[in-house]
Structure 1
Amino acid sequence: MLGDNLPPPNEVVALYQSNNIQRMRLYDPNQAALQVLKGSNIEVMLAVPNNQLQSIASEDLTAANNFVNTYVVANKDINFKYIAVGNEVDLQDFQYFFPAMRKFTGQSRQLAYKTKSSYVQNPDTISLSYALFTSLSVVVQDGDFASTTENAQTYYADLVQHVKTGTPRRPMPIETDLFAMFDEDTKDGPEREKHFGLFSPNKQPKYQLSFT
């Protein structure tokens, strides 16, 4: 959503549906997006912003309860699949991540809700999470991969075909996310990070891909 020329949420949902894109990640609980996702049956990964992790990690369950009740329970017409606890949390704030993750795992069970908790890993903290967990389910999120549109086309096309069949050891579909839906002209960071979109802001596809 980091662009000043992006289509409105209702057009984005329609674009997902017309291209058979069945999942969406929201980096924060954007109310306009949540409203148009109701009844769409698009599977949603809803992120908890990093600036809320400290309060959620406290012993009091109020903050975790409020998030789940406000954004998940109150939107039962949305097909939530994951609650993503933070996004690439840096080392300074990493102390809050695991307590917050436990709160959401507990709250999901308490509320008899099927949503799973997940985390988008900062490479700097991988060793910390591996010391603390012996078994992790990993979902690959694709992004910084190519310097030209032609290379990106080849990479995406091969990746989509690969995840349909899996690996020799696990010959089954692999869950993966492609980052991102649109180019984002106001995004911070290197210039290349503004051009990760599968679509241009005018909703025209940048690559010839099939999601079926």
Structure 2
Amino acid sequence: MLCFSQKQSIAMASLLFSFFFFLLAFSAYAGSIGINYGRVANDLPPPSKVVELLKSIGITRVKLYDTNADVLTALANSGISAVVALPNELLSSAAADQSFTDQWVQSNISPHLPATQFEAIAVGNEVFVDPNNTTRFLVPAMKNVHASLTKLNLDGKIKISSPIALSALQSSYPPSSGSFKTDLTEPVIKPMLDFLRQTGSYLMVNAYPFFAYEANTDTVSLDYALFKPNAGVVDSGNGLRYASLLEAQLDAVYAAMSALKYDDVQVVVSETGWPSKGDSNEVGASADNAATYNGNLVQRVLTGGGTPLRQKDPLSVYLFALFNENQKSGPTSERNYGLFYPNEQKVYDISLTLTNESTTVTNVSKSQTPAASPSSRGGGQTWCVANGGSAAEKLQAALDYACGEGGADCGPIQPGATCYNPNSLEAHASYAFNSYYQKKSRGAGTCYFGGTAFVVTQPPKFGNCEYPTGY
């Protein structure tokens, strides 16, 4: 039996408390991962097999593009909640007559209750770019569907929203300049945001860093698009540093909403993904990049925290998509967003649950090993610094962990020591994170700290403090 002195017991209790606080802070800001289950294909497994697949990979939230009865029946009593859709072609009817939406709800939602869990109804999809010009029907249709749910006392259980594309923005760079297109703002954006606020719902946004990278390879870093270690991009308008393109895209939406005084409406990423194959002109479409993007995105979401502008709002994301869909039109990439082939084999191997490494993505043909850090790839000296956009509670918990159980050398950031000034949480955390990172030989995953840190290739600048490069 081991015996501890009172001093040792107090130290151990303090260490355990710091680690517990780190876990508590993580859980308080953890996000959620769902997946889009599209069915524009003639070779997909039956819905019952799809539900088994979803359960086997730990997915508990699925988004559909219709209200297919076979799919909703298969989801019954599965523990998987569904977002269903009223398609664009029904918007004019739904907007014109509430009796239509009454019948739609009674035919497509009510028969599956309570066995099937409905999270939300997506009224239309990317309506603003619908070639059939259905924009004017959107908000009236949303209101009528909500009224139909209210008649059945379902309005408090099922939310109403509508996915928008980033093309609804007039400006998106830098994120702080985000604004909606002027021809959409008064007719539809403001009425829709009013509706979402009044009903306690959220705005659905389809965001694809792949498209932004493909169109701007000369100015957009692939590492930045893929959530890989990079120096980040500083917003010249608000001074915030962005470590990923997706977060910058979301904050452009938040900034646009803020400009209209809708800071209280949340955003859910209703679609995002990366194609595993594309045409010759679709730069960046590959299985390796798709695995990296989706794998790193999952870890980013599940480790918690929001965007630099909305730090305490956990990210809620639906990956696109579950399967490759062979009947989709358009470029090759459109048929190759799936995590799985129709035979249920993986297109590439990623974890959909939280791992201990920041990057655990592989191509299906490779062994499952973490991606190398910049230093191990021969990219020269690197340092680990704190993400100043992280929530203060989470950053403090990570700092406590680094200085405690992590074994970082935190003596220089104590009061009166050489690196105490500047006396800021970001500066102190950066010193502690870098100490840990260097002691761990700059290995993959050692500069992460629950998403509060990232790797840089230039020495950090905090006062006159010198940051070590090795131990």
TM-score by length of 1: 0.91
| Equivalent residue in structure 2 for 1:188, among 329, 333, 347 | 329
1:166 and 2:326 equivalent? Answer: no
1:141-152 mapped onto 2 (5 Å cutoff)? 141-144=271-274, 146-152=284-290
Tell me if structure 2 keeps the 8 A contact 1:29–1:71.
yes
Given residue 287 of structure 2, which amino acid in structure 1 is its aligned partner? T
Name the CA shift for 1:172/1:123 in 2 (closer, same or farther; >3 Å): closer
Instruction: Measure the CA separation in 1 of the matches of 2:286 and 2:318.
Output: 20
Given residue 166 of structure 1, which amino acid in structure 2 is its aligned partner? G
Instruction: Measure the CA separation in 2 of the matches of 1:125 and 1:102.
Output: 21
Structure 1: runs of 5 or more not aligned: none
Give the CA deviation at 1:196: 0.2
Q: Which deviates more, 105-114 or 83-92?
A: 105-114
Tell me if structure 1 keeps the 8 A contact 2:118–2:158.
yes
CA deviation string 1:51-95 (max 9, x = no partner): 11111101x311111111111121111000000001122261111
Q: Which deviates more, 79-88 or 123-132?
A: 123-132
RMSD: 1.9
1:71 and 2:74 equivalent? Answer: no
Instruction: Measure the CA separation in 1 of the matches of 2:104 and 2:77.
Output: 21
- In the other structure, the counterpart of 1:51 is 89
Tell me if structure 2 keeps the 8 A contact 1:108–1:116.
no
Instruction: Measure the CA separation in 2 of the matches of 1:79 and 1:20.
Output: 16
1:96 and 2:137 equivalent? Answer: yes
Q: Which deviates more, 180-189 or 170-179?
A: 170-179
| Equivalent residue in structure 1 for 2:268, among 139, 145, 153 | 139
Instruction: Measure the CA separation in 1 of the matches of 2:273 and 2:41.
Output: 17
Q: Which deviates more, 176-185 or 29-38?
A: 29-38
Q: Which deviates more, 139-148 or 24-33?
A: 139-148
Instruction: Measure the CA separation in 1 of the matches of 2:92 and 2:189.
Output: 22
Give the CA deviation at 1:107: 2.5
Tell me if structure 2 keeps the 8 A contact 1:143–1:196.
yes
Q: Which deviates more, 97-106 or 11-20?
A: 97-106
SS class of match (2:109): helix
Give the CA deviation at 1:210: 2.3
- In the other structure, the counterpart of 2:318 is 177
- Greater relative contact order structure (CA < 8 Å, 6+ sep): 1
Tell me if structure 1 keeps the 8 A contact 2:323–2:342.
yes
Tell me if structure 1 keeps the 8 A contact 2:274–2:293.
no
Tell me if structure 1 keeps the 8 A contact 2:273–2:320.
yes
Given residue 130 of structure 1, which amino acid in structure 2 is its aligned partner? I
Tell me if structure 2 keeps the 8 A contact 1:29–1:46.
yes
Instruction: Measure the CA separation in 1 of the matches of 2:289 and 2:166.
Output: 24
1:117 and 2:160 equivalent? Answer: yes
Give the CA deviation at 1:96: 0.6
Instruction: Find the structure with the greater CA-based Rg.
Output: 2
- In the other structure, the counterpart of 1:23 is 61
